[in-house]
A and B are shown apart, each in its own frame.
Chain A
Amino acid sequence: MRRFSAISLFREALGGHEKWPRQWRSPEPKPAYDVVIVGGGGHGLATAFYLAERYGITDVAVVEKGWIGGGNTGRNTTIIRSNYLFDESARFYEHALKLWEGLSQQLNYNVMYSPRGVLMLAHNIHDVQSFKRHVHANRLNGIDNEWLSPQECKEFCPPLNVGGAMRYPILGGALQRRGGTARHDAVAWGYARAADARGVDILENCEVLGIRRAISGRVEGVETSRGFIRAGKIGVVAAGNTSVVMNMAGVRLPLESFPLQALVSEPVKPAFPCVVMSNTIHAYISQSDKGEMVIGAGTDAYTSYSQRGALHIASHTLDAICELVPMFRRLRMLRNWGGIVDVTPDRSPIVAKTPVPGLYLNCGWGTGGFKATPGSGDLFAWTIAKDDPHPINAPFTIERFRDGVMIDEAAAAAVAH
């Protein structure tokens, strides 16, 4: 791997930037690996990277049916925060946030992590009470989160409309200053490049068609569109397609896959200083470094694998945003797309061993998985390497739905998030 530095940048500039090598190989599949990761998104690539970097397992393949980062990793609105209500979630997302802070240095790849502050708006009394409870719970967990009055919201984010008779008035907001955004493509590419440099094979255009199991029940490998690949252990990180992949191993899950839409505007000069989100009206806004307003909507009502949603969902979000930020009313929207998010009943993820020996599962991130990418990869790699969950992800089992020990962020937020 050619390291990126000021010197290497200068040297390549002299050659007109034509001599940069490929950032990761495109190898043929080997017949067998110690670990096969199913799913080449951010979480899967991060898992492979941490397996090699922290847990000494370098005989790893990441199999991806399309191209890496082409699913939800490249389709989300890149929001990073850790101010979740429950102790279990707070520990998990905070672990991820701490990794984000040093990620560009660790990967030698600029993921453009920008802790510009995430402001969650409250629009009614229920929101105010709920967010204040979040602020207090977060402080007990050592996570920064503060309550802002409407005027303080306006000072932190001047484009907001805090006065007047509005359908969704701003009654205050919860601000996590360490929250922010990162460039999602760079996260996939950075992890891919760093994992590849440590010996991980990244196999694109390699769709898993079946999971072969021995008579003992243990996994033997994966049937793929590029042939059978033997595997000592298999980690499934397939987001919206998790139910399909796990069905191949005979495991049924408490998951439903929904379309989640996002859209971007035409690029404009820097005008929006932070991330603003509103769970109540399902609007998530930030400005990318290219200048586009990046806008996330809520999920569509029905389950689907089509990677597109209905116009009225995006339109509802835009209605609300135009009221919250009146200067956006004349912006034109450039692109609109959808991703397929796998949602659990309690809106918390599953990062755990499964009833099938040698098969591990990382799924259920729903509408908010991007922020957890480094933490999810690290803890899932631990779980695979040690055949035992890390204390942080130990509560995030499949069995919690049977045993009634849910981590009910769904009820805490009263919306999908």
Chain B
Amino acid sequence: MLLIKCPFCGPRPELEFSYGGQAHIARPKDPASLDDEAWAEYLYIRSNSKGLHAERWRHIHGCARFFNVQRNTVSDAIVSTYKIGEEPPKPVEPGLEERSSRSGAAL
């Protein structure tokens, strides 16, 4: 079970949270102008990174707020957590960047 540090409440067990999928996927500004390819990209295509992965979590049994997490999907180690709207912190663990660039992670 993950121990997740909610940026508002502090470290809590994974049971208190719900997973919200890949982070930083912006809703299209002008949806009407999108073709099918662009819609499929927005709705379904995911980086599915092996290595550093930015994802949303919600502290549903706590403050109920959404926030972002950077996690290494090989070890499940949580690298950082940060509030919605903040820039993702640069990873400090060496090797993480290399792996994520190899797997084409879009952060």
B48 to A, closest residue via Cβ:
A243
Interface string of B48-88 (1 = CB under 8 A from A): 11100101000000000000000101111000000000000
A404 to B46 alpha-carbon distance, docked (Å): 17
Give the chain B neighbours of A402 by CB distance below 8 A: 36-37, 39-40
Q: Does A108 contact B (CB under 8 A)?
A: no
Query: A97 to nearest B CB, angstroms?
Result: 29
Query: B55 to nearest A CB, angstroms?
Result: 7
Q: A residues bordering B, Cβ < 8 Å?
A: 241, 243-244, 247, 252-257, 301-306, 308, 310-312, 342, 345, 401-404
Given contacts A255-B48, A312-B15, contact A243 B103 (CB under 8 A): yes
Give the chain B neighbours of A305 by CB distance below 8 A: 50, 73-74
A404 to B, closest residue via Cβ:
B36
Q: B residues bordering A, Cβ < 8 Å?
A: 1-2, 14-15, 18-19, 21-22, 36-37, 39-40, 43-50, 53, 55, 71, 73-76, 103-104
B40's partner among A247, A301, A304, A401 (CB-CB below 8 A) is A401
27 of the cross-chain contacts (CB-CB < 8 Å) are A241-B50, A243-B47, A243-B48, A243-B49, A243-B50, A244-B48, A244-B50, A252-B104, A253-B45, A254-B45, A254-B46, A255-B46, A256-B46, A257-B48, A301-B14, A302-B19, A303-B48, A303-B55, A303-B73, A305-B50, A306-B74, A306-B75, A312-B1, A312-B14, A342-B48, A345-B43, A402-B36
A306 to B2 alpha-carbon distance, docked (Å): 13
Give the chain A neighbours of B39 by CB distance below 8 A: 402
Q: Is the CB of A244 within 8 A of B103?
A: yes
Give the chain A neighbours of B21 by CB distance below 8 A: 256
Q: Is the CB of B46 within 8 A of A304?
A: no
Query: A16 to nearest B CB, angstroms?
Result: 45
B18's partner among A241, A244, A301, A345 (CB-CB below 8 A) is A301
B55 to A, closest residue via Cβ:
A302
B53's partner among A254, A303, A342, A404 (CB-CB below 8 A) is A303
Q: Is the CB of A306 within 8 A of B73?
A: yes
B48's partner among A256, A301, A312, A345 (CB-CB below 8 A) is A256
Query: B62 to nearest A CB, angstroms?
Result: 16
Q: Is the CB of B76 within 8 A of A304?
A: yes
Give the chain B neighbours of A255 by CB distance below 8 A: 46, 48
B44's partner among A241, A254, A342 (CB-CB below 8 A) is A254
> Which 6 A-B pairs rank lowest in CB-CB distance, beginning with the nearest?
A254-B44, A243-B48, A301-B19, A402-B40, A247-B104, A310-B1
B77 to A, closest residue via Cβ:
A306
Give the chain B neighbours of A304 by CB distance below 8 A: 73, 76
Give the chain B neighbours of A247 by CB distance below 8 A: 103-104
Q: Is the CB of B44 within 8 A of A401?
A: yes
Interface centre among A254, A308, A403, A404 (most CB of B within 10 A): A254
Give the chain A neighbours of B15 by CB distance below 8 A: 312
Interface centre among A257, A345, A402 (most CB of B within 10 A): A402
A241 to B51 alpha-carbon distance, docked (Å): 12
Q: Is the CB of B44 within 8 A of A311?
A: no
A342 to B, closest residue via Cβ:
B48
A304 to B77 alpha-carbon distance, docked (Å): 10
A310's partner among B2, B40, B53 (CB-CB below 8 A) is B2
A342 to B39 alpha-carbon distance, docked (Å): 21
Interface centre among B36, B44, B46 (most CB of A within 10 A): B44
Q: Is the CB of B40 within 8 A of A254?
A: yes
Give the chain B neighbours of A253 by CB distance below 8 A: 45-46, 48
Q: Is the CB of A302 within 8 A of B48?
A: no
B51 to A, closest residue via Cβ:
A305
Query: A171 to nearest B CB, angstroms?
Result: 28
Query: A317 to nearest B CB, angstroms?
Result: 15
A403 to B36 alpha-carbon distance, docked (Å): 7
A244 to B102 alpha-carbon distance, docked (Å): 8
A310 to B4 alpha-carbon distance, docked (Å): 13
A253 to B45 alpha-carbon distance, docked (Å): 5
A86 to B104 alpha-carbon distance, docked (Å): 34
A306's partner among B14, B49, B76 (CB-CB below 8 A) is B76
Give the chain B neighbours of A241 by CB distance below 8 A: 50
B18 to A, closest residue via Cβ:
A301
Given contacts A253-B48, A301-B19, A306-B75, contact A311 B103 (CB under 8 A): no
A310 to B19 alpha-carbon distance, docked (Å): 14
A256 to B40 alpha-carbon distance, docked (Å): 15
Query: A313 to nearest B CB, angstroms?
Result: 9
